[in-house]
């Protein structure tokens, strides 16, 4: 297994829809194993293939809940259904999220409270996940990456301006910017 460089927001692969996986090959299995290793080292709760420069509809996730119960898996060619959003502004204390492709920052973003995701796992078995709360947020965030959308693309105008200032200051507006988990320190 290998740790992969994580692409930063200016990279074009992050802004284009990813392609479906036609067949689960050894190459795909290696990619998924490398994605788990990269996500764990980053550390993150999810990682989509476009974030490591691979334009395929795959993401991995890993989360330990308040009861210390692990929740981990991969979804290939996911389909997402969401409950309607609750109107109103997001609560910065309860609805903030970050992204490994915009590291070191968090912004409030309203997401659907409940989702269903279907797809397949590495063995080709059907997967159906019905979750709410933080897990639903993870599913929506990673699914967005497969459609070429970063969470910062969904922010309010004021936060979007802040994002652009940070991105310009750090040189993240151009393609090719990346960081290596375990090597680069990109906090703040």
Residues taking part in catalysis: 142
Give CA–CA dist 162/104, Å, rounded. Answer: 13
For 49, list phi and psi in degrees, rounded to 5.
Answer: -55, -40
On the CB side of 126, CA atoms within 13 Å amount to 2
Give CA–CA dist 125/123, Å, rounded. Answer: 5
Whether residue 63 contacts residue 11, with contact meaning beta carbons closer than 8 Å, is answered with no
**Alpha carbon 85 to chain centroid distance?**
19
Give CA–CA dist 144/138, Å, rounded. Answer: 10
Please provide the DSSP assignment of 79-106 as one string: EEEEPPPPSSPPPTTTSEEEETTEEEEE
Pairing between strand 46-48 and 58-64? antiparallel
């Amino acid at each position: 297994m290998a740790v992969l460089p994580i692409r930063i927001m200016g990279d074009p692969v992050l802004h284009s829809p990813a392609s479906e996986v036609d067949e689960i090959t050894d190459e795909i299995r290696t990619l998924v194993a490398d994605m788990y290793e990269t996500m764990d080292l980053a550390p993150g709760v999810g990682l989509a293939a476009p974030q490591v420069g691979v334009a395929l509809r795959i993401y991995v996730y890993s989360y330990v809940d308040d009861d210390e119960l692990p929740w981990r898996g991969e979804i290939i060619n996911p389909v997402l259904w969401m409950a309607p959003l609750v109107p109103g502004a997001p609560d910065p204390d309860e609805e903030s999220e970050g992204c490994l492709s915009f590291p070191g920052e968090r912004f409030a973003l309203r997401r659907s409270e409940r989702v269903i995701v279907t797809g397949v796992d590495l063995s080709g078995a059907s997967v159906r996940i019905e979750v709410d709360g933080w897990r639903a947020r993870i599913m929506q965030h990673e699914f967005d990456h497969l459609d070429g959308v970063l969470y910062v693309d969904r922010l309010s105008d004021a936060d979007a301006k802040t994002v652009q200032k940070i991105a310009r200051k750090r040189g993240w507006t151009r393609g090719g910017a990346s960081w290596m988990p375990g090597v680069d320190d990109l906090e703040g």
